[in-house]
Amino acid sequence: MARVLVVDDDGELRDVLRESVELDGHTALVASNGREALRVLREQGADVVVLDLMMPVMNGWQFLEAVRAEPRLAQVPVIVISAAARPPPAPIQAYLPKPFEFDVLASEIRRQARAADLHPR
């Protein structure tokens, strides 16, 4: 299955997302802000990123900008989960407004992981 990087500053939600990802058979990596997520992505890689937008230190918009600027990371699919009124302008693969259904997120992760397999980086 896929390596999924979960990025959210809410520790409880991050833990629930990690467990959900793992229960669906994927490997979960976690980060509490964009800066930490960028480090994890550079060092460990991921097949899919599940990203909150509103976080301290480095928010999701800044994370997306940094990732899209690095050719090695630019093609990693990003699923944004956020209470923000609208999705970010940066290219993303999916946007799920909070609150969202975990089965919808799981389905989207599987879809993006399959698409990433078809387009190796």
CATH of the domain at 11: 3.40.50.2300
Domain range enclosing 39? 3-118
pLDDT band at residue 90 using 50, 70 and 90 as cut-offs = low
| pLDDT computed for residue 22 by the predictor | 97
Query: Do residues 62 and 33 touch, judged by C-beta distance below 8 A?
Result: no
**What DSSP assignment string belongs to 49-111?**
EEE-S--SSS-HHHHHHHHHTSTTTTTS-EEEEESSSS--SS--SEEEESS--HHHHHHHHHH
Would the pTM count as exceeding 0.85? yes
Lowest mean pLDDT among 11-25, 44-58, 74-88, 107-121: 107-121
Predicted confidence band of residue 86 (pLDDT cuts 50, 70, 90): confident
Output the CA–CA distances (angstroms, integers) from residue 61 to 24, 58, 78, 120, in the order listed. 27, 8, 12, 25
User: Does 73 have pLDDT greater than 80?
Assistant: yes
Q: What is the mean pLDDT of the chain?
A: 92
What would you report as the CA-atom Rg of the chain, rounded to the nearest whole angstrom? 13
List the structure tokens of 67: 């990732």
Give the residue from 98, 109, 81, 101 showing the smallest Cα distance to 24: 109
Question: How many domains is the chain built from?
Answer: 1
* 118, pLDDT greater than 80: no
